[in-house]
Amino acid sequence: EAQVTQNPRYLITVTGKKLTVTCSQNMNHEYMSWYRQDPGLGLRQIYYSMNVEVTDKGDVPEGYKVSRKEKRNFPLILESPSPNQTSLYFCASSFTQGSEQFFGPGTRLTVL
């Protein structure tokens, strides 16, 4: 089944404790992206990747890191999480820039 998977689905952590949210797609998509969803703000793009080893900042990259060492994986790293990073996070992938995106199920992160 074609899909985007994220892990974990739910995470409660404390300020400053490094964490990684994994994202994997099995569709051989070139383009992958991370978003955060906050009430009243819609989805805001954090980082995106056009292909392996090619990443760039979205609209809200501060406090986040990403890597794209393999085509299928695009992990999101929070080196020192803060409470303002409490949010619902989505990973997405698509064949190309103009293609529709396939979204993962989301990761609900709470930083205390």
Residue 95 touching other proteins (CB under 8 A): no
Q: Which stretch binds other proteins (CB under 8 A): 10-18, 21-29, 33-41, 68-76?
A: 33-41
The site string for other proteins over 55-94 (x = CB under 8 A, - otherwise) reads -x-xx------------------------------x-x--
103 touches other proteins by CB under 8 A? yes
Q: Are 39 and 86 in contact (CB under 8 A)?
A: no
Q: Is the Cβ–Cβ distance between 51 and 68 less than 8 Å?
A: yes
Distance of CA 11 to the CA centre of its chain: 14
For 70, other C-beta atoms within 10 Å of its C-beta total 10
